[in-house]
Amino acid sequence: MAEKTIKNIEGIVLRSTPYKESDAMVNVLSHDGLFSFLGRGVQKNISKNFASCQLLSKAKFSLVEQKNGGYALSESEVISLPDGKGDLTRLAIFSFLSEVSVKLISEEEAGQIYPWLCQTMDLLKEPGKEASSALIYLCHLLSVIGYGLEVNECVTCGKKTNIVGVSFRDGGFVCSDCASPSMKMTPRNLKILRFCFKCGLEDALRVSFEPKESLSLLKNLISYVEDFTGVKVRSLELL
Ligand SMILES: [Zn+2]
CA of 176 to the centre of ligand 1 (A): 7
Please indicate whether residue 76 or residue 2 has the higher confidence score (pLDDT).
76
Average pLDDT over residues 91-114: 95
The band of 184, judged by pLDDT with boundaries at 50, 70 and 90, is very high
The band of 137, judged by pLDDT with boundaries at 50, 70 and 90, is very high
The answer to whether residue 1 sits within a structural domain is no
Q: What is the pLDDT of residues 154-167, one digit of tens each?
A: 999 999 999 999 99
CA distance to 113, 133, 203, 208, per residue, from 125 (Å) = 19, 11, 16, 13
The answer to whether residue 168 sits within a structural domain is yes
Do 104 and 74 fall within a single domain?
A: no
User: At 32, which CATH number?
Assistant: 2.40.50.140
Q: Per residue in 129-152, is it b (16+ CB within 10 Å) or e — as a string?
A: bbbbbbbbbbbbbbbbbebbbbbe
pLDDT at 2: 56
In this predicted structure, the answer to whether residue 153 has a pLDDT above a threshold of 60 is yes
Average pLDDT over residues 89-110: 94
Q: Per residue in 91-104, is it b (16+ CB within 10 Å) or e — as a string?
A: bbbbbbbbbbbeeb
73 three-class SS: strand
CA of 158 to the centre of ligand 1 (A): 6
Do 104 and 199 fall within a single domain?
A: yes
Q: Which of 80, 98, 117 corresponds to the end of one domain?
A: 80
CA of 171 to the centre of ligand 1 (A): 13
Do 148 and 233 fall within a single domain?
A: yes
Q: What is the pLDDT of residues 32-57, one digit of tens each?
A: 999 999 999 999 999 999 999 999 99
pTM (2 d.p.): 0.93
Give, in degrees to the nearest 5, the angle at Cα 43 between 54 and 126: 20
Q: Give the count of domains, the chain.
A: 2
Average pLDDT over residues 19-29: 95
pLDDT at 61: 98
CA of 167 to the centre of ligand 1 (A): 10
CA of 191 to the centre of ligand 1 (A): 17
CA of 154 to the centre of ligand 1 (A): 5
pLDDT at 41: 96
Do 76 and 183 fall within a single domain?
A: no
pLDDT at 204: 79
pLDDT at 119: 93
Do 69 and 103 fall within a single domain?
A: no
In this predicted structure, the answer to whether residue 74 has a pLDDT above a threshold of 90 is yes
CA of 179 to the centre of ligand 1 (A): 7
